[in-house]
Amino acid sequence: MEFYLVLAVFGTLAGVTTVLFGFGGGFVVVPVLYRTLVHMHGSESPLGQSAMQVAVATSTCVMIVGAGLATRRHQRAGNVDWAQVRPLLAFIAVGAVAGAAAATVLRSDWVRWTFVAYLALTILDGLLRPGFIRPRAAVATPQDGTRPSGPVTALLGLAIGAVASFLGVGGSVMTVPLMRRRGAPMVQATAAANPLSLPVALAGTATYVLLAWEQAAPLGAWHAGFVDLRAFAVLVAGSWLGIRLGGRFVGRLPDGLHAKVYLALLAVVLLAMLMR
């Protein structure tokens, strides 16, 4: 019971970060679920040895609901720049299948340390390279000729989908920095991360369920592939509440503060994943 109470609290926090920062909940759900599973079952148990895959897969499944609700919220507020979002959607879905497939065959520790390395690089990039804390002058428009070409868009989409699905963190992990450097304000960059998380969530979840169906047998009941169905239900309920609470603050945070809080939250998650 205590396990699900913890998940409900952090599911609510995940909902807040989803709507305000486009995290898709993964940066909250993955560390919490990973740590809790290892603590409860031990690192040498079948569930402990697959803890990172279960955490990533369950987080990816939760994103279907969280990103969908957050997208609807931002769409109503007029924050989503669909001209930049639509070209990436199909390529992200394809990349998500590849990323999830890779995560199902690698050791849990490898997935964990990849998660840690990517977090560290994202934080350093945001702090040291111009264009994140303070955005560039303006967002590119379809008429100005500065949008990426078709091949570049395809490569970006495939990379975003693969990394996001592999780590279970949604579109935010790459799309917020990408759009920020194109000049988007934080509210628009985080809003775009939510619809871009949907193809990751749908394609990634299907892959985690289908490819890991036989591997999940030792994990016990209530698992569909690597997805923990009971944890999923509790996290979705918490996420719904968090999105309702966090939605009240959409567009109200000063842009520079919004960017700094985004990086600060990533740093907190990084520390959590480094702790034994």
Q: What are 237-253's pLDDT values in tens digits?
A: 998 999 889 888 887 88
Q: What are 84-133's pLDDT values in tens digits?
A: 888 888 998 999 899 888 888 888 788 888 888 888 988 898 888 877 88
3-state secondary structure of 16: helix
Per-residue confidence (pLDDT) for residue 237, from 0 to 100: 93
Please say if the pLDDT value at position 142 is more than 60: no
Nearest to 48 by CA among 107, 120, 113: 107
Q: Which whole number is the average pLDDT over 19-31? A: 77
Per-residue confidence (pLDDT) for residue 170, from 0 to 100: 66
pTM: 0.75
Q: What are 173-189's pLDDT values in tens digits?
A: 677 887 887 778 888 88
Dmax (CA) of the chain: 57
| Residue pair 118/163 in contact by the 8 Å Cβ criterion | yes
Please say if the pLDDT value at position 31 is more than 80: yes
Angle at 139 between CA 15 and CA 124, to 5 degrees: 60
Please say if the pLDDT value at position 40 is more than 60: yes
Q: Which whole number is the average pLDDT over 151-177? A: 80
Q: Which whole number is the average pLDDT over 130-140? A: 65
Q: Which two tokens stand for residue 5?
A: 């109470």
Rounded alpha-carbon distances, angstroms, from residue 83 to 142, 148, 192, 228, 244: 8, 12, 10, 36, 27
Average pLDDT for the chain: 83
Please say if the pLDDT value at position 255 is more than 80: yes
Per-residue confidence (pLDDT) for residue 26, from 0 to 100: 73
3-state secondary structure of 53: helix
Per-residue confidence (pLDDT) for residue 140, from 0 to 100: 44
Q: Which whole number is the average pLDDT over 259-269? A: 87
Per-residue confidence (pLDDT) for residue 104, from 0 to 100: 80
Per-residue confidence (pLDDT) for residue 238, from 0 to 100: 92
Nearest to 177 by CA among 196, 198, 149: 196
What is the helix (H) or strand (E) element at residue 228, kind and residue range?
Answer: strand 227-228
Please say if the pLDDT value at position 168 is more than 60: yes
Please say if the pLDDT value at position 139 is more than 50: no
Q: What are 202-246's pLDDT values in tens digits?
A: 888 888 888 777 666 678 778 888 899 999 999 999 989 998 898
Q: What are 49-73's pLDDT values in tens digits?
A: 888 889 888 988 988 888 888 888 8
Q: Which two tokens stand for residue 173?
A: 């992990």
Q: Which two tokens stand for residue 185?
A: 């304000």
